[in-house]
Amino acid sequence: MAYEEYRRWIILGFPNVEQGPVLDLVAGSIAGGTAVVSTYPLDLVRTKLAYQVKGAVNVSLRESKPSEQVYKGILDCVKTIYRQNGLKGLYRGMAPSLYGIFPYSGLKFYFYEKMKTHVPEEHRKDIIPKLACGSVAGLLGQTITYPLDVVRRQMQVQAFSSSNLVKGKGTFGSLVMIAKHQGWKQLFSGLSINYLKVVPSVAIGFTVYDSMKDW
């Protein structure tokens, strides 16, 4: 919805702008940023609850008491974060998310629309070409921006960790510290597994999106 609205506003505000992949890049980037700002607290809660479950499993194996903050659920997690750190706490680690989503969301739309221009006109409404274009868009977008996602997750869970690796370093400072102390490969740790989720997800998302618009 945001992508379509931003695209329309850009065309209305700048009538001479060329309608093509570059327009999709700009509209997609702004739409991605809007989505992150709107939903980030839920993503933060998801990460913290997942980290809590992981910690609980490790504690049960050690048969000792956990030292981490324990949340009773989503609402309790939101209330606790807000009580301890205010509104700022609910958006902790959002900077790398924005740095990542602007190029990722923009490149995703850019590559998808660019790939579609190479599909013969008579086949552009077919399912298979749409899936193929969406897969390439997801693959390229995720590969380029994945290191920022690694930094985001480390910043989100750093309050639970005894490590001071990324504390107070900022987004790009954290990138340098991770590469220096853990190696540059750590910035792409889990990327291959992420492909299994992101590539089909983006491909299916774009295909259903375009098909519903046509319908």
Mean confidence (pLDDT) of the chain: 83
**pLDDT for position 34:** 95
pTM: 0.71
Does residue 8 or residue 152 have the better pLDDT? 8
Under DSSP, the state recorded for 91 is T
Query: Which 3 state secondary structure label does DSSP give 47?
Result: helix
Query: Is residue 188 predicted with pLDDT exceeding 90?
Result: no
Two tokens, residue 214: 């046509």
**What gap in Å lies between CA 138 and CA 135, rounded to an integer?**
5
Domains of the chain by start residue, with CATH:
1-92 (no CATH), 93-214 (1.50.40.10)
Could you tell me if 77 and 43 are in contact, meaning their C-beta atoms sit under 8 angstroms apart? no
Range of lowest pLDDT (13-17, 57-61, 83-87): 57-61
Burial of 80 (C-beta count, 10 Å sphere; 0-12/13-18/19+):
middle
Two tokens, residue 38: 């709107």
Chain segment 146-174, per-residue pLDDT in tens: 888 888 777 766 655 555 555 556 777 77
